[in-house]
Amino acid sequence: MSGAHASLREVTRSFATEKGSVLHALGPISFDLQAGEFFSVVGPSGCGKSTLLEIISGLSPASTGSALFEGRPVGSDVPEGVGVVFQEDASFPWLSVRENIGFGLQQQGVRSAEIRRRVDDALRLVGLWDFAEAYPVQLSGGMRQRVCIARTLVLQPRLILLDEPFGALDQQTRLLMGDEVLTLWRATGATVMLITHSLDEAALLSDRVGVMSARPGRFLEIVETGWPRERDSRLATGARFGEISSHLWGLLRGESMKAMRSQAVAA
């Protein structure tokens, strides 16, 4: 790890509600994503995790403060070198797996031989080689998510933002997908930021875990896991994993109850 790859400086985000009031959703928040690290963000529902990701990626503007990627301010466009994988299925149903993965390269005007080579590599990397000519409708939820991950990886992003990409998957598939993401992270050397609801997932995959408060979301603590770079889901059987998960839950329990109470009042 060497230096800040992306940073937020005193960032806040507010939204105007339908009733005309202002909802303070996030911040002020400041933190640095270190180059090449795996950083996860956990927090209660509605604390602004996804908003945080959208501000870093340029999908949504900050109300105040600034976001930087590789030292340059992030504007209203997604900077070159940033890839995002969403929780929802974002595969294109009218394209085959191969066409889905090569879509971004094709739009960038990359030569077809080069597209073929890179897509072939990505297909092997995410284990979809045998499904290259299939359409998303023929794949399971996990496989479609892998298509989206491959479509992001093939563009060789330097910062990969994952917005609860395994949210819709069952626990076993999540663990296996987590291992795959770790493999891809090591293979690409990219910086990864993962938004997740799962404390176990965050504890298992990350170098650091940012724990957010209830709305307006701020970092309560950034927890260092101390895992080696070579790791996989077998870490979940160790005592250290239990300690990290318990610590994360200890930080979050009160905030989650606060979030639940405020949701009940709003309802």
86 binds another protein (CB under 8 A): yes
| x-or-dash string of contact with another protein, 150-189, rule CB under 8 A | --x--x----------------------------------
59 binds another protein (CB under 8 A): yes
Among 10, 88, 114, 224, binds another protein (CB under 8 A): 88
CB 146 within 8 A of CB 136: no
Nearer to another protein, 163 or 201 (CB): 163
Among 70, 89, 179, 232, binds another protein (CB under 8 A): 89
Nearer to another protein, 157 or 255 (CB): 157
83 binds another protein (CB under 8 A): yes
Alpha-carbon gap, residue 157 to 153, rounded angstroms: 6
**CB of residue 168 to another protein, shortest distance in Å:** 12
Nearer to another protein, 54 or 207 (CB): 54
CB 70 within 8 A of CB 5: yes
Nearer to another protein, 18 or 230 (CB): 18
104 binds another protein (CB under 8 A): yes
Among 93, 238, 242, 250, binds another protein (CB under 8 A): 93
Name the nearest CA neighbour of 154 among 109, 100, 201.
100
**CB of residue 108 to another protein, shortest distance in Å:** 8
Alpha-carbon gap, residue 66 to 47, rounded angstroms: 19
Nearer to another protein, 74 or 244 (CB): 74
Among 22, 73, 77, 250, binds another protein (CB under 8 A): 77
Nearer to another protein, 109 or 226 (CB): 109
**CB of residue 231 to another protein, shortest distance in Å:** 28
Range in contact with another protein (rule: CB under 8 A) among 27-35, 87-95, 213-221, 235-243: 87-95
User: What DSSP string describes the chain?
Assistant: --SEEEEEEEEEEEEE-TTS-EEEEEEEEEEEEETT-EEEEE--TTSSHHHHHHHHHTSS--SEEEEEETTEE--SSPPTTEEEE-SS----TTS-HHHHHHHHHHHTT--HHHHHHHHHHHHHHTT-GGGTT--GGGS-HHHHHHHHHHHHHTT--SEEEEESTTTTS-HHHHHHHHHHHHHHHHHH--EEEEE-S-HHHHHHH-SEEEEEPSSSB-EEEEEE----SS--GGGGGSHHHHHHHHHHHHHHHHHHHHHHHHHHHH-
Interface with another protein by CB under 8 A: which residues?
Answer: 57, 59, 77-78, 80, 82-84, 86, 88-90, 92-94, 103-104, 107, 135-137, 152, 155
